[in-house]
Each structure stands twice: as structure tokens, then as C-alpha cells.
Amino acid sequence: MRWNHCRGEDTPAALQGCSELLSDTAIDAEGRSEAQRRLGLAQRKNGDLDLAIASLGDSIQSHATATAYADRATAYLLKGDFATAIADYDEAIKRDANNGESWNNRAWTHYKMGAHKKALADANQAVKLIGDKAYVWDTRGHINEALGERAAAEADFLKALTIDPGLASSKSGVKRLTGR
């Protein structure tokens, strides 16, 4: 039951379930790492970025995985610590080069830093890996727009909208670029 809560979407239940698992001395290193990672995700969802970063760091210390590095990178991104986020996304990609989420999130981090050419290279890789997700096209649309590639940006936003017609940021992107 504790694992179900720890892995669940209910944040308070996840916080409690993961904390209970971590107090269990019989849990193995891999299980401890997963409970710490899940605790970090729940803390991040709860807005406790510093606690999330600490728990995700504990997860990495227990059993380093690409997922734990990517999750911690996202907490750093949300905190505005872009350089540390990039370092963690680098490690996540080094450990799992097929993780499109990490490529997309590193692209967004580069974009936020103003490194648009680096962002575009990562966004292109994300599109190759998980091009069925609207948000990767949206990310690339923002990057192409920042690079002054209006036609490419519009095409990316429109592609995102074919996958998810309700994606507000792509709708806004099309409106900015075309006036419609």
C-alpha cells in the first residue's frame, strides 16, 4: 500500500507513503532510491523545490539513474538555476540518450538561457525521439521564433496543434506569428 501511495498522483498521500517507505530499514538500495526520487517528485509538485532537490540528490546517491538526474534537473529549472539544470540534463542524456523528455527539457533550459542554437539542436533530437508529443513541437516553435525563423515556428506550432488542439502556448504562438 505504501508503494501505491508513494507512486500515486495524490501529493499528500505520496509524501506520506514515500516517507514511510524511507523509514523502513529493510528497503534495499534500489527501492530506497526510487522512494527518494518519488518523494522528490511529490515535494516538487508541492512547490518545495529545495526539499525536492535534496531528496532527488539522495536518490542519486543511493542509486544514480537517468530519471533521477532528469527529475532533479527539472527542479533546478523551475528554481531558475539553469546552469545546474543543464549539468543534470547532460548527465541524464549521457545515461539514456533515447530519453526525449531530457532532450526537450534541456532544449527549453537552453532557450531560457538565450542559447537558441543549442536549444534548437536539442529540440530537433526531442522531435526525433518523441515527435508524437505536442509539447516538443511547441518547444521547437518557441525556439524557431526566437531565432527569427517565423515560417518554421509557425509550422511547429501548427504541428503541435494537430496533436493537441487545446495547447494554449501553441495557439498563442500562431496568433503572434500570423495574427489569427
Domains of the chain, CATH where assigned: 1-96 (1.25.40.10), 101-180 (1.25.40.10)
**By the 8 A CB rule, do 107 and 81 touch?**
no
Quick one: CA dihedral 98, 99, 100, 102, positive or negative? Answer: negative
Quick one: pLDDT band at residue 1, thresholds 50, 70, 90?
Answer: confident
Cβ-Cβ contacts under 8 Å for 167 (sequence gap 6 or more): 134, 135, 138, 160, 161
Q: Nearest-CA neighbor of 72 among 118, 94, 103, 41?
A: 41
**By the 8 A CB rule, do 50 and 72 touch?**
no
Q: Which pLDDT value is given to residue 17?
A: 94
Q: Nearest-CA neighbor of 77 among 35, 107, 39, 117?
A: 107
Our measurement of the distance from residue 136's CA atom to the centroid of its chain's CA atoms, rounded to an integer in Å, reads 11
Give the three-state DSSP class for 57: helix
Tens of pLDDT, residue by residue over 37-94, are: 999 999 999 999 999 999 999 999 999 999 999 999 999 999 999 999 999 999 999 9
Q: Which pLDDT value is given to residue 113?
A: 97
The whole-model pTM stands at 0.93
Tens of pLDDT, residue by residue over 90-143, are: 999 999 999 999 999 999 999 999 999 999 999 999 999 999 999 999 999 999
